[in-house]
Amino acid sequence: MSVPAALGVVGLLSVPFVLALAVHPITRRLALRYPVRRLSESALIVVGSMLGTSIITGSLIVGDTIDRSIRASAYEQLGPIDEVVVASGLEARTELLRQAVGLDASATPDGVIDGVLSMTTTQVAVIGRRTQPRAQLIEVDFDEARSFGGDAGATGIEGDTPALGHAAITEDLAATTETAIGDTITVYVYGVPVDVEVDRILDRRGIAGYWPIDGRQQSYNVFVTPGSLAAGLVGITLPEAVEPPQVTLAVSNAGGVEDGADRTDEAITLIGDVVGTDPSPQAVKRDVIDQAATTADQLSQLYFTMGMFSVAAGVLLLINIFVMLADERRSQLGMLRALGMRRSSLVLGFATEGWLYALVSSVVGALLGIQLGRIIAWRADQALDADNDLYALDLTFAWEQSTVAQGFAIGFTIALVTIVLTSVRISRLNVIAAIRDLPAGSDSSRRSWTRVVGLISLVAGTAMSSWAVVARDSYGLAAGPMLAVTGIGLLVAPRFGVRPTVTWVSLFVIVWATMIVPVIGWLDITTEIPIFLLQGTTMCAAGVALLMVHHRALGRWLSERFGGSLPIRIGLAYPVAKAFRTALTLGMFAVVILTIIYLSFISLMFRQQVDGLTEDLGGGYEILVNSNPSAPISVAQLDAVDGVTAVAPVGYGFVETTFGDRVQMWPVTGFGPDLAATPPALRDRGAFDSDADAWSAVLNDPDLVIVDEFLLNTGGPVSDTPDIGDTVIIRDTTTGTTRELTVAALSTDDYLLAGSFVGVETYQALFGDRAVDSRFYVDAEDPDAVAADIGRTFAANGAESSTVYALVEAVLAQSTGLFTLMQQFVGVGLLVGIAGLGVVMIRSVRERRRDIGMLRAIGLEPRSVTRTFLFEATFVAAEGVLIGILIALVGTYGLVLNGTGFLAGFSWSVPWPDIIFVAALTMAAAALTAAIPSYRAGLIRPAQALRIVD
């Protein structure tokens, strides 16, 4: 949504209220009087309702930040590089250069392409003061590189081409090897040490920032003069089964660093026409940009959904505030109606006052949302800054004006709709009852309405359920039966009584909402994250309704036990009597606590997966070793390491993978009989009798593949998961070899970034002479010591050696870090609850001044008055917290009951420390918020309070 569109929505919605203020003097008086006269309360209302907008804006800004960060990688790191063509072997260079000439001919100002550049690369290990096992040696002419794409600054290349024996290195490599200009580093080229002097350190940008190693964001590049590799290789006999040097033809599209990506399709066609399919071009920049958009959308949606729980709390707060305002002004409103004011004018007056709050709170909320987004981005950057740079992502805080405008418009609209609906509801007062301050009672028209609403709910719920089954819609399946049963409840309540009806309907809703995620899993229906919003809010509503119909009994039971204490007795009586108000406050707390505790549950269950996942992912092996394909470790070398008991070599590379309508460069692992003998555990082995059978079948059948549920998902919620029998197409862009494979089984979640598993024959067919066993699953007696030993011993081979346990732990730490971050984000919603409680308590004190006066007159001590209000506030907060916790317990139990989706194989564990901490923090905050109004209640002078007329 653009800025003008967002402001247009707000402007359009504001027209009636602006007109009302301008034209209707009574509406103006009604709308302006209270906000102006009661500034502190107005401020609390604004604080309570602005948080919703802040949360919405903050969650959208998370999307901006992630989008901008990944795009920044594309724009800054790739710079002018839009496409690449990678060929294998130095002999390919001549052919590729010849083709480049054909491309260069079209590199005119009006053409699609404005530059081509050839580079020769190979993977190396670099040792300076410290070791960087996986780095890249790049031969390139610096003058050509600088002129590539027409923007020298964007290439990151500075100075002359280093002379032979000299090099320029990137800042990432300089940092990890602790190297400065003038230092000498040892570069292990094909296992042979070559000393070079570092002339320059280059920024991670453009050609200098080009990063093809296993999809890492960091650039560990050593730039040398063209021909160095050929010169260095003179006299060296390359061992068999090593990856030969790669020749990369980088292509820059016309239109600059950012806009050039828009011409990718044309460029790919043009390049394809010239170079053919063997090798074929890769749209590197557009792929990264597409990935940025998808990941940003997914994570933004996740935060948005989680944030909506807090927004729901904000909506409840607004309703509560307006119902309280109406209660307080009931007799005045009745009088105005008696004097001839129309109901619509009453609605307009109330709604205009609300419009003022909504406008101010949305503006402030949107601006605060930027800061909230900044904090989340900062914390997310910490959470994503994993030790292992394979999993790391640098986040740069960013926000768009349109995002803030959108957050403002959404927050404003939600607040205004809530306020208008509440205003309509509260304007339906009985004039006589309002003037005389009598209870409204229930009239026959209300009973008729209840019947009508019940009938509509029943019909709509039944229709929605039926449609959902046919259309396989998860939301309809979740909401339909709840709506239908609620309709039945409304119809039968007059006959069977409100309490039993609400009890049974609420229990049904809780049970159904608990079961809905497993049921959706059983029925194999695709769903999305918002289902949890539906699940959480309905469970909270049912939980609150259940408590409210039994609140009187609970209050009586507690009063009997603590009946001697007047603060407790009075503190219990008001929340029990003011059912609607209490229900809204309970709902505010319950919905936020539920979300926080829910996330705690999932986070804990993730943390507890380390042992199980290590066992599943490693199969019979404890260590994972990566080495440079250009100088791989051999099995014999690893076998010779002390403590190593078994080695399973695998090939590892990236291929263009197509699943459904998604195409992406994705890892592939080519395994042999060693891994198949004691393979990683499968999540779903389909029709095979055992996991080993499935692995064996894939090893022997070149048309089969094992993939995991997160295939081609790069973050955030999973969509379009693969099933057994689905087709996956993989293609090596260098050899052009393509294989259409059938999913034979689903692997355990891919925490080791193994990608798709294919048999060794398929792997060799794909990669040709680049099919090298550079990755190893190793079993050892003392995994930690042996992993460290391998890393040290084979540094020249670029060995990166970790225990599977450490790798799993690193990924889980990142996941749980993000969960914690999300908890903190949702925790902002607690402020809504706390602010709401503050508003409720302040208004309660005002509303009950006369009662306080009477109680003080007959002998209630000031401190007892304070205790009464404190008890009431903490009691309501405690009930809300308790509902949230209980529903989280039930909900998560239901979620792991069937073990579908991301909780497959998880066991139910209760995060007691988190629960206790969150509950204690909430209670303390609630008590603190209530302390001031409670203290002021204790200061009320009885004579003054009794003089108050209304």
Residue numbers at the binding site for another protein (CB under 8 A) = 438-439, 560, 563-564, 566, 569-570, 573-574, 576-578, 850-851, 853-862, 941-944, 946-947
Q: Tell me how far apart the alpha carbons of residues 189 and 122 are, in angstroms, rounded to a whole number.
A: 8
Q: Tell me how far apart the alpha carbons of residues 914 and 841 are, in angstroms, rounded to a whole number.
A: 28
Q: Which two tokens stand for residue 697?
A: 């079948």
DSSP symbols for 831-847: HHHHHHHHHHHHHHHHH
3-state helix, strand, coil in the chain (%, to 5): 60, 15, 25
Q: Which residues contact 191 (CB under 8 A, 6 or more apart)?
A: 239, 631, 796, 797
Amino acid in position 431: V
* DSSP secondary structure code for residue 1 in this structure: -
Buried b (16+ CB within 10 A) or exposed e, 562-586: eeebbbbbbbbbbbbebeebbbbbb
What Å distances lie between residue 818 and 377, 382, 812, CA to CA? Answer: 11, 9, 10
Helices (H), ranges, 128-263: 142-147, 152-155, 171-177, 228-233, 256-259
Other C-beta atoms closer than 10 Å to the C-beta of 424 total 15
Query: Reduced to 3 states, what is the DSSP secondary structure of residue 164?
Result: coil
* DSSP secondary structure code for residue 679 in this structure: P
Q: Which two tokens stand for residue 826?
A: 């949702």
Other C-beta atoms closer than 10 Å to the C-beta of 22 total 10
- Give the residue from 208, 202, 226 showing the smallest Cα distance to 148: 208
Q: Tell me how far apart the alpha carbons of residues 91 and 769 are, in angstroms, rounded to a whole number.
A: 13
Instruction: Find out whether the peptide bond into 279 is cis, omega within 30 degrees of 0.
Output: yes
Long-range residue pairs from 916-919, CB within 8 A, at least 24 positions apart, any chain: 918/593, 918/596, 918/597, 918/600, 918/881, 919/593, 919/881, 919/885
The Cα diameter of the chain in Å comes to: 107
Q: Tell me how far apart the alpha carbons of residues 140 and 224 are, in angstroms, rounded to a whole number.
A: 7
Q: Tell me how far apart the alpha carbons of residues 37 and 54 are, in angstroms, rounded to a whole number.
A: 26
* DSSP secondary structure code for residue 180 in this structure: -
HEC letters along 876-939? HHHHHHHHHHHHHHHHHHHHHHHCCHHHCCCCCCCCHHHHHHHHHHHHHHHHHHHHHHHHHHHH
Q: Is 479 exposed, middle or buried (0-12, 13-18, 19+ CB in 10 A)?
A: buried
Residue 777 sits at φ, ψ, to 5 deg, of -95, 120
Strand partners, 777: 624, 648
Q: Tell me how far apart the alpha carbons of residues 47 and 424 are, in angstroms, rounded to a whole number.
A: 24
Q: Tell me how far apart the alpha carbons of residues 882 and 878 are, in angstroms, rounded to a whole number.
A: 6
What Å distances lie between residue 399 and 7, 45, 776, 817, CA to CA? Answer: 17, 27, 43, 23
Q: Judged by CB, which is closer to another protein: 516, or 576?
A: 576
- Give the residue from 843, 820, 849, 831 showing the smallest Cα distance to 938: 849
Q: Which two tokens stand for residue 289?
A: 């940009």
Q: Tell me how far apart the alpha carbons of residues 287 and 298 are, in angstroms, rounded to a whole number.
A: 16
The answer to whether residues 482 and 512 touch, using CB atoms and an 8 Å cutoff, is yes
- Give the residue from 931, 807, 948 showing the smallest Cα distance to 869: 931
